[in-house]
Structure 1
Amino acid sequence: MSVEFFITAFIIVVSPGTGAVYTVGTGLTRGFRMSVVAAFGCTLGIVPHLAAAIAGLAAILHTSALAFESFKWAGVGYLLFLAWQTLREKGAMKIETEGTSQARDRSAAEVTWTAVLINFLNPKLSMFFLAFLPQFVPAGTPHTLPRMLELSAIFMIMTFVVFVIYGAFAAAVRDHIISRPKVLAWMRRTFAAAFVGLGCQLAVASR
């Protein structure tokens, strides 16, 4: 495994993005346990893109304007929906207090599903992995599929670990934030604005 791959993958993973923002927000609003759930969901959300890149299906998004635009605007709409829910303190970004085991299970499922959709509804990821992974498969490699799967697994592990660290830091300062209503209100506005900003960034993205 090349050092270049580890360095490049690490830079990509630690760069602020939708998944990182959501994991941090979950850590602040729901604590460390749910931030781990969010990190897991975000990691699951990149599996379809990695699979598409390996199978070459990402090329369809690159060549089909309709497919790309449809996928892109679904992602934009979902990010704006998350911003609206965050401002109204509903959905997966709602401040969580102690509750029943059944309520916690529903909460975990909601956080996981939201995290998966956040990364799944981003067509740029498929095309990114289509361009990214083959660079680290040496020319002339007799069996490229195992190599691609290995690179994908490492990327996913790095994503999960880094996002868990983000969530842990957020959860560590959670009590200091939720006990201050004004700070909490600004936090909600900041995360809502971040989702809107990421939605706008995706809206102007092109193939």
Structure 2
Amino acid sequence: MRNGREGLRSFKMEPTVTLETIIGIFALAAGTVWTPGPNNAMLASSGARFGLRATVPHVLGVALGFPVMCFVMALGLGQVFEAQPLIGEVLRWAGAGMLLWIAWKTLQAKPPGTEAGSAKPWSFVQASAFQWVNPKAWMMAVSMISQFVTGTEPLREAAILSGIYALVGLTSATGWAGFGAALQRFLSTRTRMLCFNAVMAGLIVLTVLALLFADLRPAG
């Protein structure tokens, strides 16, 4: 019996998600979601224009929408993405066009308190849906899945990856929106707001230029 138990123990699979892996995911997630990009530039702009409280739905849409996308991709959508390179190219150019339009609208934003009645912050659904056409979000998801998802325990790996991104993303989205909201009083003049808008729009344009040459295919 003893030899039999030892034999069974020897055939037990090692866990695919170790503490070192979790730390690595946390570190890479923090480095990717806190750095400037379309989501963060839009959150800062929204915070400056509408305030932090009004931007909360946008914050939650980004913080939860991207992890949901990671979860779905980790469960198999990434394989479809790899098998159909045309999807990546369509995403690349469609996303670039949308981001350039967003950059233009960001550049035109007016100082806090002077927005037209039709202007309002993004809703939770809008911010969540945007993740699916955001090339940077796809590139981040592909990179993380290629490095940390082995497919041995797909549901567990997908849940851990998306859970970590939800935690880190919530701090990042809140931080960038709060940064914009903290500048509301300073941005009360048209000249200052124009400069701020130009910086935020510029960050989006730089992201577009980088992503046009990025490889959106999962690493083989």
Question: TM-score normalised to the size of structure 2?
Answer: 0.73
Flag structure 1 segments of 5+ consecutive residues without an equivalent. none
Distance 1:69 1:23, change over 3 A: same
Report the alpha carbon displacement of residue 114 of structure 1 after superposing the two structures with TM: 4.7
CA distance in 2 between partners of 1:124 and 1:167 (Å): 19
Q: In the alignment, is the contact (CA less than 8 A) between 2:49 and 2:184 conserved in 1?
A: yes
Q: How many residues align?
A: 195
* 1:190-205 alignment runs, 5 A limit: 190-205=199-214
- How large is the RMSD of aligned CA atoms in angstroms? 3.0
Answer yes or no: is 1:171 the counterpart of 2:181: yes
* Aligned equivalent of 1:151, options 161, 183, 186: 161
Answer yes or no: is 1:26 the counterpart of 2:38: no
* 1:101-180 alignment runs, 5 A limit: 107-108=120-121, 110-123=122-135, 125-126=137-138, 128-133=140-145, 135-136=147-148, 143-178=153-188, 180=189
* More helix as a share of residues: 1
- Deviations along 1:124-162, one digit per CA (max 9) or x if unpaired, are 53454344246446x796x44124213311211210122
Distance 1:205 1:136, change over 3 A: closer
CA distance in 2 between partners of 1:57 and 1:140 (Å): 12
Of 112-121 and 190-199, deviating more is 112-121
Flag structure 2 segments of 5+ consecutive residues without an equivalent. 1-18
Answer yes or no: is 1:60 the counterpart of 2:80: yes
Question: TM-score normalised to the size of structure 1?
Answer: 0.77
Of 122-131 and 44-53, deviating more is 122-131
Q: Which has the larger radius of gyration?
A: 2
Answer yes or no: is 1:206 the counterpart of 2:215: yes
